[in-house]
Each structure stands twice: as structure tokens, then as C-alpha cells.
Structure 1
Amino acid sequence: MTTARLPLFPLNAVLFPGLVLPLNVFEQRYRAMMRELLTVDDAEPRRFVVVAIRDGREVAPTGSGMPDRAALPEKGPAAGFGPDPVQAFHRVGCVADAATIRERADGSFEVVVTGTTRVRLLSVDASGPFLVAEVEDVPEEPGEEAEALSEGVLRAFRAYQKRLAGARERSLTTSELPDDPSVVSYLVAAAAILDVPSKQRLLQAPDTATRLREELSLLRAETAVLRHLPSLPAVDLTQAPTYPN
């Protein structure tokens, strides 16, 4: 199993392979990480690991999962995560490739990343200016009946989209949706409106087929709930937020 040491970026969000995530980086420990990544040659990938924070960790008064702006550099890179930081995070995360890192005038950063591969956290090093994790690759296995399950999930996803957005909104056509079952599984996991623990379960599913089966169940349940709700402001619900570090 391939291992690597990569900077670690904890979030109250889940990044999936192939999906894009915008980040608003303002804490000193993560600014230091971005400055380090900017030293990487332009021809090389600027990689770090995005990992979801376990419930009840790093919770600020502004809301669940929002980092504490009072976590000053002198408190160290593990501030808010306890004496053994690895225990504060889910063990399966996703490698992020930073497509753009833009520094603002105030020293904060605007970053856009794409998820690449799943990894498992083995350990977390808090001795430097930011957290660094030793990780190992988590291979993506297809599992049994992934192709058939993928078709069922796409049908369920279209019904979910239509119910969520309302009949007046344009839904994705078949030609706009991918054919590869693993890509389908990650796209649906990212696009469905689910809480972090549910998304984390999908990320760490042992294979594509298992992920698709769980998505099928989740989509059917969510669609049934939406049938009994009044019209929702779909554009507000489906817009991707920019995640603060």
C-alpha cells in the first residue's frame, strides 16, 4: 500500500474524488499551508488532504463546524483538536489538488481544489506550522452489480432533483450524466443534500456497489420526504457554499 506525508486540511465537509470544492482560508495555520503549497513548482500538483471533522470537534459559537477565529498561531496547528488530533477526524479523507490559490490583500486565501483519490489517515504530526498527515491510498473497487446499480441511482437521482427543484427547473439530461459507476457514485454523493456523517459514510464505503446501494436507499427516502413538503427555494438549497477553514 502506497503511503505519503501530506498537509492536512480539516473541514466540516466531505470532499469526493472528481468533485470541486472552493475554500476560504483565513486561519494562520492554514495560511501557512497555502504559502508552503505556493512554493511547489507549477508543473507539480499542489496536494493536501481534506478530512472531515468528527461531530462535536472544533465547534465555534458561530455554528457547528465553523473554526474558532480565536485559535491563534501560538496555540499551535492542533488548536481545537485535542491532545491527539487524529482522534478528532474521520479516518478516510480525500486528496485535494489545488487548481488555484489566490492570496487576498488581507493575507487570507481563495482556493479552489479538485478531489483526486481517497486516503486513510495513519497518523497526524502537529510539530510544524500546520498539520501533516501520514496517509495510505484507499483503492476504489467496483463491487458486484455496480453497473446495474449505477443506472438505478441515476434514475432515482433524476427523480430527487425534479422533486427538489420543482417542475419549472431544468434537471440534468441523460447525456450530461456520467457512465462510469464510481464517477456516478461520487457525483450523487456530492450533489445530494445530506449531513456530513451521511456523506462520510458514502466516501468510506468499501466499494462502488456498496456506495450506490446506500445512495439508492437515501435518494428514495429523501424523495419521499420531499413529496410531503411545500415548494422549496431550490436554488438556495443546491448552491455549493464556499467552506471556511
Structure 2
Amino acid sequence: MAFPLHCPPPSPPLRISSPPAAAAAVPNPCPNLSSLAPPRLCLPRHRRRRRRPGSLRCSASSSSPENRRAGPASSSDAAELPLFPLPLVLFPGAVLPLQIFEFRYRMMMHTLLQTDLRFGVVYADSASGTADVGCVGEVVKHERLADDRFFLICKGQERFRVTGIVRTRPYLVARVDWLEDRPSSDGGDDLESLAGEVEAYMKDVIRLSNRLNGKGEKEVQDLRKNQFPTPFSFFVGSTFEGAPREQQALLELEDTAARLRREKETLRNTLNYLTAASAVKDVFPSS
């Protein structure tokens, strides 16, 4: 399900923007809550991923939870999780502000607030359907309004893969297996070096992006903040705003080194684009 890693087609310069709105939830408009979300980098788009045989993705006509048929029961110790399809990708450690207004998901929130405050966020769009790999969102702050809408702050926890559907009404509940990165063939020192290279590319991308947006070439501070390579790779992926399919591909990788290498390639391609755009701007300032 991986994208080719050669140069992507041209796209507008990297910019900072907000996450897309969902049909049943939108990013929280409250300034004090929205400010908790990390900045997201808009990167050049990649080609559409090929679907993996046997995956639980559904077509555009069946992406709605009501149109998905419940699957057979599995082992009694399988984990069950309510799912929330959204047109965005949540990564472990990332913060996601949401406004819940659709009735079935308000029902889900009433249940969650009485249990463990955890639900599964899965990426969904009309072209590729609903992904079978997602990330648990844990409610860390919530506000219930008079009209029964909810403002939420969620934080990404562990990843999961959907293995079956338990029920579809009033909201989707699935059986899931938990995902963790497998031990990498790259040694610890190599992972540290790779994470350092990704951070360096990311700093250069932010610096050039600021310059092109008229913000000046300010010194970019420490982005990694002493994170180990795996959580740092998730943080980098969470900043790739504007490329949700690429983010989904990064989320599904089960190898930290492979994820960091892919992010390095994406950032290098973006840096090349921004460098060319910066050179054009120097020659033709009015453009």
C-alpha cells in the first residue's frame, strides 16, 4: 500500500492550515482548544495508493456505517472499539479538537463518557472508502453544550487494525487488533541518525516556507524535544496536512525506520520544490 518514493508532482508551497471538517464533527472553533493542535505542514500530493487485497475498505457507495454488514463473531477476548470515520488521520500522540453534532455520534459520546473515553478514528473519503487501520482517540477534555453538542479534545493513543464488524447501529463498533512497530533491522544508532536527518529536513522546510510566506527566516527551535524515533516519526507524519492518503500510508507502516525514510524522502522533495520557488521569488520579487 506504499506510494512510490520518487519526486511527486508540483504543488503549491507548504503552508500551515487547519484540519478538514468532517460530516459528523468539525475542528473545535474555540481558540483556547484549537491552539492545542500541532501545526500541520501541507506537502506535495502523492499518487493514490493501491488497495491491498483483502482489506476492509469499502467503496464510496458503502462507506457509510449503515451500509456495512456486521461480520461473524471471533474469539471472546478480541477487543471491541466504537469507530468514528473522519476525513483526516490521527497519529499516536497527536491532539485532535472536535465538535460532535450528529445524533448517532452524540449517542456514542454519552456512552464513552460513562466508560473509558476511548474510540477509534479511521480515515474515510468518498474515493477510497473507510480505512481498516486507525488510531485510538482518548477524550482528555470535553464540554457539553445546551443543545447536546460536544466540544472535545482527543489525544491519539495506540494504533489498531479492524478485523470484523460487531454492529453498525446506532454507530459502528468493530473488533480490532492492536498494532505496534516491529523491531527494525536498523540498529538504534541508525534510527537516531535517521531521525536527526528527518528533523534537519523539517527545519529547512519550515524555514523556507516562512520565507516564502513573508515571515522571515526565523531560527527553527528543537522539533524533536528528546522524543524516541518511533513517537517522533508519528509527530512528523501528523504535520503532513493536505496529504491524508500519505498520512494514512505512514500510519499503516509497522517499521519505524521505513516510516522515517519515507518522511525524509517527502520532506526532501518538498524542500527541493521550496528552494526552486524561493529562487524564482528572488529573481521575480513581484511574483
Q: TM-score, normalised by structure 1?
A: 0.73
Residue aligning to 1:7: 82
Residue aligning to 1:129: 170
CA, structure 1 residues 188+176, in 2 after alignment: closer, same or farther (shift >3 Å)?
A: closer
- Aligned mates of 1:8, 1:175 — CA distance in 2: 31
Q: Is 1:150–1:181's contact at 8 Å kept on the other side of the alignment?
A: yes
- Aligned mates of 1:102, 1:179 — CA distance in 2: 31
Equivalent of 2:271 in 186, 210, 223: 223
Segment drifting more, 23-32 vs 101-110: 101-110
- Aligned mates of 1:137, 1:219 — CA distance in 2: 29
Q: CA deviation at 1:194?
A: 4.0
Q: Is 1:161–1:171's contact at 8 Å kept on the other side of the alignment?
A: no
How many residues matched?
197
Equivalent position amino acid for 1:115 in 2: G
Q: CA deviation at 1:111?
A: 0.8
Q: Is 1:154–1:184's contact at 8 Å kept on the other side of the alignment?
A: no
Residue aligning to 1:47: 118
**Per-residue CA distance 1:122-169 (angstroms, 9 max, x = gap):** 122334311111110011235213222111101111111111222626
Q: CA deviation at 1:181?
A: 0.3
Residue aligning to 1:37: 112
Matches within 5 A, 1:89-238: 89-143=130-184, 144=186, 145-166=190-211, 168=216, 170=218, 172-174=220-222, 177-229=225-277
- Aligned mates of 2:223, 2:208 — CA distance in 1: 20
Q: CA deviation at 1:199?
A: 0.3
- Aligned mates of 2:103, 2:275 — CA distance in 1: 45
Greater relative contact order (Cα < 8 A, sep 6+): 1
The percent of aligned pairs where both chains have the same amino acid is 33
Q: Is 1:124–1:132's contact at 8 Å kept on the other side of the alignment?
A: yes
**Per-residue CA distance 1:47-90 (angstroms, 9 max, x = gap):** 11000014426xxxxxxxxxxxxxxxxxxxxxxxxxxxxxx311
Greater Rg by CA:
2
SS of corresponding position for 1:122: strand
- Aligned mates of 2:94, 2:144 — CA distance in 1: 23
Equivalent position amino acid for 1:157 in 2: M
Residue aligning to 2:91: 16
Deviating beyond 6 angstroms after TM superposition, the runs of 4 or more aligned structure 1 residues are none
Equivalent position amino acid for 1:33 in 2: M
Q: CA deviation at 1:230?
A: 6.5
- Aligned mates of 1:172, 1:230 — CA distance in 2: 18
CA, structure 1 residues 222+142, in 2 after alignment: closer, same or farther (shift >3 Å)?
A: farther
Query: Gaps (5+ residues) in structure 2?
Result: 1-74, 280-287
Q: TM-score, normalised by structure 2?
A: 0.63
Equivalent of 2:101 in 26, 37, 56: 26
Equivalent position amino acid for 1:16 in 2: F
Equivalent position amino acid for 1:4 in 2: A
The root-mean-square deviation of aligned C-alpha atoms, in Å, is 2.3
- Aligned mates of 1:198, 1:132 — CA distance in 2: 26
Q: Is 2:208–2:278's contact at 8 Å kept on the other side of the alignment?
A: no
Residue aligning to 2:55: none
